[in-house]
Amino acid sequence: MGVSLETGDVVWEHSTGQATSLLGVAGTTAYVENERKERIDALDVETGEVRHSYPVETALSQPMAVSDGGL
């Protein structure tokens, strides 16, 4: 979910099922792992829109390093 820093109000939500993991943020993109650990979604931090989805073969348990706008 995206939260306004000024008001604390929820400004968008992204449904991935149950719990997700925030893996990292680069500029205006947040990278989250879905609840079944099968993909990473790259979300626009302003709107929550999915910019890209990446399938993964194994669960990621640690925050990821971000370089040149990517994981």
- What pLDDT shows up at residue 16? 59
Q: Tell whether the model's pLDDT for residue 17 goes beyond 70.
A: no
Q: Tell whether the model's pLDDT for residue 46 goes beyond 80.
A: yes
Tell me how far CA of residue 13 lies from CA of 5, 9, 48, in angstroms: 15, 11, 6
Q: Helix, strand or coil for residue 33?
A: strand
pTM above 0.85, yes or no: no
Phi, psi of 30, rounded to the nearest 5 degrees: -110, 135
Q: What residue ranges define each of the domains in the chain, with the CATH number in brackets?
A: 2-55 (2.40.10.480)
Work out the burial of residue 2: count CB atoms within 10 Å of its CB; fewer than 13 is exposed, 13-18 middle, 19 or more buried: middle
Q: How would residue 45 be classed by pLDDT, with cut points 50, 70 and 90?
A: confident
- What pLDDT shows up at residue 70? 62
- What pLDDT shows up at residue 35? 66
